[in-house]
Amino acid sequence: MDRFTHYDLQRQDANLSQVFDVAVIGAGSTGAGIALDAASRGLSVVLIDRGDVASATSSSSSRLIHGGLRYLESGEVTLVAEALRERSILQKIAPHLVRPLGFTIPIVSRSRYFAFAKRHLYSATLWGYDLAGSLRSAKAHSVLSTKEVVRNLPLIRQEKLHGGLLYPDSLTDDARLTNSTVLTAHRAYGARVLTYSEVTEVKDKAGTVGLTLRSTLGKPETFEVKAKAVAVAAGVGNQLLSPLFKSQPNFDILPAKGIHLSVPREKLPLNSAAAIDVPSDKRRVFVVPWGRYSYFGTTDTRYDGDLASPDITSEDVAYLLEGLNEVFEADLAPADITGGWSGLRPLVMERGTDNPEEVSRKHAISVRNNVVFVAGGKLTTYRAMATQVTDALCEILGVKAKSQTKRLSLIGSYLPHQESELRRNIDRLLAQATSSTTERIRLGEHLIARYGAEAPKVAEVIVNSWNLHSPDLLEADEIYLGEIQYMTKFEGARTVSDLFLRRSRIATLDMDLAVSLAKASKKEIMRSLSINEAEFNLQVDQMVKAPSTKVPK
């Protein structure tokens, strides 16, 4: 194991009496990126979140690492070029988490003439997209016949279909990408990580900022962390947090809600992802295959409800289903939906507009004395944003150190030529548990997709508890008992939701299955999380009832 193997989960484990160089508030993708950038420049760092790592927007995205065709269409060329540059960096530093995926654009139109015009318009945009990413990606877009579109999207309505296009982009696991960034900062560079610790008060004294933290899990207690400089990367939480500071940032945040829904793959079979223009609406919907499920989204609506857990409404569900059913002969109904999630885009408010469709997805950074506020941007550009914030932190601290993160591989990454060796190692380990080659191959795939080069370590733990698995757990192939041990011991999971919503993603895709798997692993969960049965039941209930994952039927 690496030098730093545990999160500093209990404050008594961490030496919190020291004055850190940097305190980062918010362990979403932005804060995680800052923690890694700062720690790898040699700064002492404490990363703080009131919930789990990636418990807010960074586990609620569309999971795309992309330039954003829509932004190219609206002329935001530099934004797209930066995102595509970042896409290629992330594919190198986290190849196990940022995987190439083809997107089909079906051309749907009532007339041949409009279909022709549409195809050329898309083609021109995609040439721009290819060019913006050309030096970095070997693949370019291609034109598809109607037959090829149907092969990719078997249930697509064919009456008005006039072929389509296919373009390359990337898919990620947003929560695991964020957690890998945190783990790298922690294990490789010694960053302290305090999850379930909410910043409730800020004291600015003679060049040092004192942050009062309140624990939000377990025994209620408050404690203080001190730092010479602070980065505030609290997403939509910036709105409530910034008034605690002496000086305010020069931007405001407009929360815009987006939801996703998932159905079993057989209800919406997909052989590629797709970017669909809903004919009766100007919006584009992404449809993505994810294991045994297909998910689709998103929406984009102004939101002024509870920032901690934005709800999924029946209107949201109806809107997405109507759009999907217009394009696919899937006849999807609310009863078909097995899971979903809702999140808030922390859009930076530009003066004179409050319509989320018109607000730019660019990020904003505001430096106030020894505090750097950051918000906006995308998951795709988290690393670039983090570099700019850390440059500002270094300037405050008078430190001359350059960012390393462009070439800094995240925990779990491996080179293409190492993959076959990795598979052989895992297979050797799993042979101690099962003689079934099919089972070993399936489990090996599962582990590599989730943990990359860390998979053999997880396989070792799984093998040790193999005989305790119920047939249901083995059949589901979603989460194994050894993974629960590994996720709590080495990946910072502290609650049932951490395990089923973010370290594994099954609760976002199929909540009923997640609950039955949690019950089938109850003993292991109680042991790993050190909780009793009443607390286990409470945590399962909290996961099921959270507005951001509860889909109205």
Ligand X SMILES: Cc1cc2nc3c(=O)[nH]c(=O)nc-3n(C[C@H](O)[C@H](O)[C@H](O)COP(=O)(O)OP(=O)(O)OC[C@H]3O[C@@H](n4cnc5c(N)ncnc54)[C@H](O)[C@@H]3O)c2cc1C
Q: In the chain, count of helices (H) and strands (E)?
A: 19, 18
Residue 379 near residue 221 (C-beta atoms within 8 A): no
Beta bridge partners of 48: 25, 194
Residue nearest to ligand X (CB): 28
Q: Is 30 or 528 the residue whose CB approaches ligand X more closely?
A: 30
In the complex, least distance from residue 214 CB atom to ligand X, rounded to whole angstroms: 9
In the complex, least distance from residue 535 CB atom to ligand X, rounded to whole angstroms: 21
Give the binding range for ligand X (CB under 6 A) out of 19-27, 100-108, 261-269, 529-537: 19-27
Question: x-or-dash pattern for ligand X, window 347-386, by CB under 6 A?
Answer: ------------------------------xxxx------
Q: First vs last Cα of the chain: how many Å apart?
A: 45
* Contact between 181 and ligand X per CB under 6 A: no
> Which amino acid type is present at position 174?
D
Q: Is 241 or 458 the residue whose CB approaches ligand X more closely?
A: 241
Length of the chain: 553
- Rounding to the nearest 10 degrees, give the CA dihedral for residues 106, 109, 113, 116: -10
In the complex, least distance from residue 232 CB atom to ligand X, rounded to whole angstroms: 9
Residue 278 near residue 105 (C-beta atoms within 8 A): no
Beta bridge partners of 22: 45, 229
In the complex, least distance from residue 31 CB atom to ligand X, rounded to whole angstroms: 5
* Contact between 91 and ligand X per CB under 6 A: no
Q: Is 167 or 536 the residue whose CB approaches ligand X more closely?
A: 167
> Which amino acid type is present at position 135?
L
* Contact between 513 and ligand X per CB under 6 A: no
**Alpha-carbon gap, residue 121 to 130, rounded angstroms:** 14
**DSSP β-ladder status, 222-232 and 98-108:** unpaired
Q: Is 310 or 452 the residue whose CB approaches ligand X more closely?
A: 310
* Contact between 199 and ligand X per CB under 6 A: yes
59: nearest Cα among 175, 171, 172, 170: 175
- 304: how many CB neighbours lie within 10 A of its CB? 8
Of positions 28, 67, 95, 249, contacts ligand X by CB under 6 A: 28
* Contact between 343 and ligand X per CB under 6 A: yes
Residue 370 near residue 209 (C-beta atoms within 8 A): yes
- Residues in the interface with ligand X (CB under 6 A) total 37
In the complex, least distance from residue 518 CB atom to ligand X, rounded to whole angstroms: 23
**Alpha-carbon gap, residue 312 to 102, rounded angstroms:** 28
Question: Measured between alpha carbons, how far is residue 60 from residues 101, 320, 339, 378, 478 in Å?
Answer: 19, 16, 12, 12, 19
Question: x-or-dash pattern for ligand X, window 298-317, by CB under 6 A?
Answer: x-------------------
Structure tokens at 239: 């709105």
Radius of gyration of the chain (CA): 23
Positions 262 through 301 that interact with ligand X (CB under 6 A) = 298
Of positions 185, 344, 525, 531, contacts ligand X by CB under 6 A: 344
* Contact between 234 and ligand X per CB under 6 A: yes
In the complex, least distance from residue 233 CB atom to ligand X, rounded to whole angstroms: 5
In the complex, least distance from residue 234 CB atom to ligand X, rounded to whole angstroms: 4
> Which amino acid type is present at position 101?
L
Question: x-or-dash pattern for ligand X, window 471-510, by CB under 6 A?
Answer: ----------------------------------------
Question: x-or-dash pattern for ligand X, window 409-448, by CB under 6 A?
Answer: ----------------------------------------
**Alpha-carbon gap, residue 497 to 217, rounded angstroms:** 13
In the complex, least distance from residue 186 CB atom to ligand X, rounded to whole angstroms: 16
Q: Is 382 or 536 the residue whose CB approaches ligand X more closely?
A: 382
Q: Is 258 or 412 the residue whose CB approaches ligand X more closely?
A: 258
Q: Is residue 110 classed exposed, middle or buried when 0-12, 13-18 and 19+ CB atoms within 10 A define those classes?
A: exposed
Q: Is 60 or 137 the residue whose CB approaches ligand X more closely?
A: 60
Structure tokens at 53: 């790592």
Q: Is 498 or 524 the residue whose CB approaches ligand X more closely?
A: 498
125: nearest Cα among 111, 141, 101: 141
* Contact between 233 and ligand X per CB under 6 A: yes
Question: Measured between alpha carbons, how far is residue 342 from residues 47, 195, 274, 307, 457 in Å?
Answer: 25, 21, 20, 11, 33
Of positions 20, 34, 35, 62, contacts ligand X by CB under 6 A: 62
Residue 345 CB contacts under 8 Å (≥ 6 apart), including other chains: 57, 255, 256, 257, 258, 300, 356, 361
Does residue 134 come out as left (phi exceeding 0), alpha (psi in the -120 to 50 range) or beta?
alpha
Positions 30 through 59 that interact with ligand X (CB under 6 A) = 30-31, 48-51, 55-58
Of positions 67, 168, 237, 492, contacts ligand X by CB under 6 A: 237
In the complex, least distance from residue 253 CB atom to ligand X, rounded to whole angstroms: 10
Q: Which residues bind ligand X (CB under 6 A)?
A: 25-31, 48-51, 55-58, 60-64, 198-199, 233-235, 237, 241, 258, 298, 343-346, 377-380
